[in-house]
Amino acid sequence: MFDAIILMSAAVLAPLGWPVGKAMSVRVVQLIPGELRSYPIAAFMWAAVVVGLPLPLLYEPGDSLVSAAVAPWLVAQIPAALLTAGIYGILEGWLAVDGARDWWPMRPAEEVDDIDFGFLQPDDLTGPGVFPTRRDAPPGDPSPIWRF
C-alpha cells in the first residue's frame, strides 16, 4: 500500500522528471565499468538539493495561473529528475558498491608495467675533478722496445 502511494505521488508531482531521471539512471549505468567505477548516488542527490533549493527564492508569482502554478511546477521537474536518478541508484543496489558515495566515481588509473631500461644500478654521472690529482702509477717508458 505504501509503495503504491509513493508511486502515485511521484507520477503526479513529477511526471516529466521521473522518466528523465530514469533515462539518466540508465545512461549512467551504461558508463559502468568503462568510464565510472560505480553509480554516483551522492552526486545526483546533492545536485538535486543544489538545484532545488534556490528555486523558491528565485520565483516570483505572476497574475495568471500559468505563471503562478505551471511555471514553478515545470522548473521543479529538473531537481525531481536528479532526485529520481539518485533514488534509482539506491533502489538498484548501487549503494553497496565501493565508490557510490563519491561525487563522481571515476575509474582508477590503470597500473602500468615497470619499464626495464637495461641496467639495474644507477649510472655513475660523476664529472671530472676540479683540482688536478697525482696519478697512482707512472705511465711507463714510452720508447719502443729494441729487439736484435
Amino acid 16: pLDDT: 84
pLDDT the model gives residue 34: 78
State the pTM of this model: 0.63
| Domain membership of residue 31 as a residue range | 17-96
- 60 in a domain, yes or no? yes
Grid cell 505572476 in the structure block, residue? 62
Question: Which tens digit of pLDDT belongs to each residue from 120-136?
Answer: 666 667 777 777 777 66
Q: Is residue 39 part of a domain?
A: yes
- Phi first, then psi, for residue 4 (nearest 5°) are -65, -35
Query: What is the predicted pLDDT for the residue at 49?
Result: 92
Residue 87, domain member (yes or no): yes
75 domain-assigned = yes
Residue type, 114: D
Q: Is residue 127 part of a domain?
A: no
In sequence order, which residues have a C-beta less than 8 Å from that of residue 36 and are 6 or more positions away?
28, 104, 105, 106, 107
The count of domains in the chain is 1
* Positions in the chain short of pLDDT 50: none
Residue 11 covered by a domain: no
